[in-house]
A and B are shown apart, each in its own frame.
Chain A
Amino acid sequence: MAAIQIQQVEKSYRSLKALNGVSLTIEEGEFFGLLGPNGAGKTTLISIIAGLNRADAGSVSIHGHDVVADYRRARSLLGVVPQELVFDPFFTVRETLRIQSGYFGLKNNDAWIDEIMHHLDLTNKADANMRALSGGMKRRVLVAQALVHKPPVIVLDEPTAGVDVELRQTLWKFVARLNREGHTVVLTTHYLEEAQALCNRVAMLKAGQVVALDTTTSLIRRIAGSQLTVRLASGALPDELKPLVQHPHELAPGNLQYSLRVNHHSEVEPILTKLRLSATQVEDWHLQQADLEDVFIQIMEDGK
């Protein structure tokens, strides 16, 4: 059974169509990335999954439980780390986590609370008031709150926005461990290298629609080739290489630097040979492997 099943979800805010028929199936045990520029609808989609917003049309279910009709089962299977840095200033870290456990129907949850605090380096802040914590520490507590009931499905909405390197590493180590132990993880982030390193599958959202959905590796392989950057000391690019130029403005007279698309490493040598045989002199060249960021930019620029 799918961890999260999203079918034809639509959502409008007045005249703005935030989600326009989104369908996605996220399988159990996946580490799934939800990417897209600001305003693409990522947070709206997560809010609908979490029951914080209601879809105008379509349905969402968690392990087969509809998030509206069967919300109690659906929500008990889900742990959500909200994007906004929110906290309750009346309580300490431990009180916050005990209260959150209680909301999920758990009493005497201290053993697991201690374990989460340990993994998120919160142990020595356990009795500190939430107000006294730094932004990064508050973020850790938000993550801990989402995990108090050991949810099989974990959704993190930009958990590393504005967070230092140390926390990012602590967080990803812990989340990757939870994923290895069988938890399904859904992540939105603006750091594409993070998504590339962690997610086995990625959906890209643009203007409320899914514009790409594939495994991270095949997405990179399918859409963006590598890029060979060549800087000439003199002369001009031979005509036969011009179709490979990625940015048209580089064909302007007098330009000496070109970005050429190569689909496979074996294509590099013939290009260099052609340059050597022509009347040009190569000053410098380097090969750049495509990454998720190239895919992202390419997809987001399509149709502009």
Chain B
Amino acid sequence: MIGFQTLFYKEILRFWKVATQTVAAPVLTAILYLLIFGHVLEDRVHVYPGVKYTSFLVPGLVMMSVLQNAFANSSSSLIQSKITGNLVFVLLPPLSHWEIFSAYVLAAMVRGIVVGTGVFMVTAWFAHMSFVAPWWIAIFALLGAAILGTMGLIAGIWAEKFDQLAAFQNFLIMPATFLSGVFYSVHSLPPFWQAVSHGNPFFYMIDGFRYGFFGQSDVNPLISCGVVIVFLLVLVSFALRLLKSGYKLRH
């Protein structure tokens, strides 16, 4: 237990020591998105009745920040440790694969939630927000952070170089995030692309999260929650198997 606590604490300390980069920068990026897209699209796009576009955008941006930062934390920590070689400090002690998994993923979740909260606190100034179902907000934020933290762990284990990690991020995480309905409702898409969007697990995270604010969503939040939990369980069992087998970590 102390081993897990220490690794978790170390992972938190690692991003907190460079909080300007890991917390403040993503908050600034989200504000820019909100100001620019909000300004351009405010009067043109109406998604839900009675909800302004800027208000619609806020939960999407918050969730996007949660997801991207949870992924960034576990993946960049692992790849940096692998490349500089200091991963041996974690591999030599008697830490179980469960301890390593939980410490990396929980720390990633903390970073995702901290950045998401920061984004929310700043962007909420620019929009009128409601909180119809706060529990759904919390549940989807935690599940989404856990999913991306686990994906980051898997990517960090798999990648041997920074450019492989960047490929994972640019060709998988970024498209899945942007095509999940952060900036729009998938109902505004042609039927084919609507169907494609429903195959994207990220869509359910953002849709369910948004339901917590407006009480309106494209899909019933219970269904979204189910999809997200199943997706998380699949990823967790895969990540644990990788860690247990020593894949790319213990040659």
Chain A residues with a Cβ under 8 A of chain B: 47, 50-54, 71-76, 78, 80, 82, 84, 86-91, 95, 99-107, 145
Contacts and interface: CB of A to CB of B under 8 A. Distances in A.
A31 B159 CA distance: 39
A86 B93 contact: no
Contact of B93 (A53, A84, A87, A100): A100
Contacts of A72: 94, 96
B246 interface: yes
User: Size band of the B side of the interface?
Assistant: 20 to 34
Contacts of A73: 94
Contacts of A75: 92-94
Interface stretch (B29-37, B46-54, B82-90): B82-90
Interface centre among A80, A99, A107 (most CB of B within 10 A): A99
Interface of B: 1-3, 5-7, 9-10, 13-14, 17-18, 81, 84-86, 88-96, 246, 250-251
Nearest to A145: B89
Given A51-B250, A84-B85, A106-B2, A90 B13 contact: yes
Contacts, number: 80
B94 A104 contact: yes
A99 B11 CA distance: 11
Nearest to A77: B94
Given A75-B92, A103-B93, A103-B95, 8 more contacts: A52-B250, A52-B251, A76-B93, A76-B94, A86-B89, A87-B84, A99-B6, A105-B1
Contacts of B1: 105
A80 B89 CA distance: 10
A47 B251 CA distance: 9
Contacts of A89: 84
B2, B17, B89, B90 interface centre (most CB from chain A within 10 Å): B89
